[in-house]
Amino acid sequence: MTLEEQMIDIAKRAKTASRGLTTLSTDQKNRCLRAMADAIETNQEAIQSENAMDLEAGREMGLSSALLDRLELTETRISGMSQGLREVAELPDPVGRTLEERERPNGLKLRKVSTPIGVVVIIYESRPNVTADAAGLCLKSGNATVLRGGKEAIHSNQIIAKTMVGSAQDICPEFPLDAIQVVPTTDRQAIPLLLSLSEYIDLCMPRGGEGLIRAVADCSRVPVIKHYKGVCHVYVDREADLDAAAAIAVNAKTQRPGVCNAIETLLIDEGVHDDFAPRIAQLLWDHGVELRADAAFIQQVNGSLESRDSKLVQATETDWDAEYLDLILAVKMVDGVGGAIAHINQFGSGHSDTIVTTNDTTAERFLNEVDASTVYWNASTRFTDGAEFGMGAEIGISTDKIGARGPMGLEELTSYKWLGLGQGQIRE
């Protein structure tokens, strides 16, 4: 088979498997998930021996120790995968929910119900535990998955998928063999070939850095749910409780700076008391944060604090849309809530933004006009997360507006259909 034929074969089999998944009951899906969890633990040795092959090849390829660490399936990580699958089994079935119901004057009942999406392609980088996490969430939501992990993890990914499918079939013979497939080649051309098959594949979710996501989006003919980056903001309004503002800004920047829902820019209303700039600068310095600020902020700070040159530098235009993922923060003075909204809508990434204010009208305006997946009032941006939202599990966060937006749990892995229930109605 050519590579193209191979991809068509995978995609067709996934489509057929997705039909089979719609016939499984909730109980069957949950029993499969639990069997998979058990099998991953039982087969720990076999999984680690395949993982050792990946690690050895990785060392030969000269992978960094950070990458090798991500690749390694320790006992803790293996039981973490199992635990994740068991948790997904406990969550409510997202398929078959009645989303809306209406009866037409002719007696036709219309019911909008949630359905699986169909075939979901997941493209990810080095962590092999994503294989189990993503496949488990897709199974629970009735979707067949085609998994394409990093080339350095191919043996690990294959054994995990094989273990999952085998154990599910043992306990539930109706479980479709092709419901979870790992692309068996590391050829880079496989991705555009696979993502051209819009007849069979319903969605692609790339997980990784901006480069990976852009490359996938550029070549795909199937819908891609994307999350390029997180350039999140805290805006401190002139009517803010400044203690709350300081606590929220520090938390949103420093509690875990390397993640997408950490802030990268602090916006301060010009109408806030002059004391606030030196106060927040001092607090952020105390947390090890370097500030890249506009002239107005620098002036307010330098007027009252002794210079800490290396921790307070002049921002350049590229700082406003930078995703530092580090203890660095851009800071800008803006002209009220209007200035904040304009800045965020121009430079933000549509992820998460906060206003701190005690004024309801100002807050309403910010909540309405900021164009982002999650907009907060008096809370840290760090809450944008499936677990924090009470979704139970998260497959990713979307900054797109078609399909899911914001944290994606099981419900966000579903589509819907309309059911029309009649008693012989015809159209006049």
Q: Are 276 and 283 in contact (CB under 8 A)?
A: no
265 belongs to the binding site for its own copies (CB under 8 A): no
Minimum gap (Å) between residue 80 Cβ and its own copies: 21
The single residue listed with the structure tokens 């530098």 is: 313
Among residues 51 and 398, whose Cβ is nearest to its own copies? 398
Span of 26-34, 72-80, 154-162, 412-420 interacting with its own copies by CB under 8 A: 412-420
Which residues ranging from 231 to 250 are in contact with its own copies (CB under 8 A)? Answer: 241, 244, 247-248
Which residues ranging from 95 to 134 are in contact with its own copies (CB under 8 A)? Answer: 96, 102, 104, 108, 110, 115, 117-118
Choose, by CB under 8 A, the member of 74, 255, 299, 307 that binds its own copies: 255
198 belongs to the binding site for its own copies (CB under 8 A): yes
CA-to-CA dists, residue 125 to 37, 153, 154, 206, 209, angstroms: 22, 8, 11, 9, 9
Q: Which residues pair with 110 in a beta bridge?
A: 102, 420
Span of 46-54, 121-129, 131-139, 367-375 interacting with its own copies by CB under 8 A: 367-375
Minimum gap (Å) between residue 261 Cβ and its own copies: 9
Angle at 282 between CA 293 and CA 341, to 5 degrees: 40
Which residues ranging from 40 to 79 are in contact with its own copies (CB under 8 A)? Answer: none
- List the structure tokens of 193: 């070939």
- List the structure tokens of 40: 């991953």
Choose, by CB under 8 A, the member of 6, 177, 377, 392 that binds its own copies: 377
The C-alpha atoms of residue 73 and residue 45 are separated, in whole angstroms, by: 10
Q: Measured on CA atoms in the order 212, 218, 221, 225, is the torsion positive or negative?
A: positive
Residue-by-residue DSSP string for 107-154: S-EEEEEEEE--EEEEE--S-THHHHHHHHHHHHTT-EEEEE--GGGH
φ, ψ dihedrals at 144, nearest 5°: -80, 145
Residues forming the site for its own copies (CB under 8 A): 19, 22-23, 96, 102, 104, 108, 110, 115, 117-118, 198, 202-203, 217-218, 221, 223, 225, 241, 244, 247-248, 251-252, 255, 345, 367-369, 371-380, 382-384, 388-390, 400-403, 405-407, 415-427
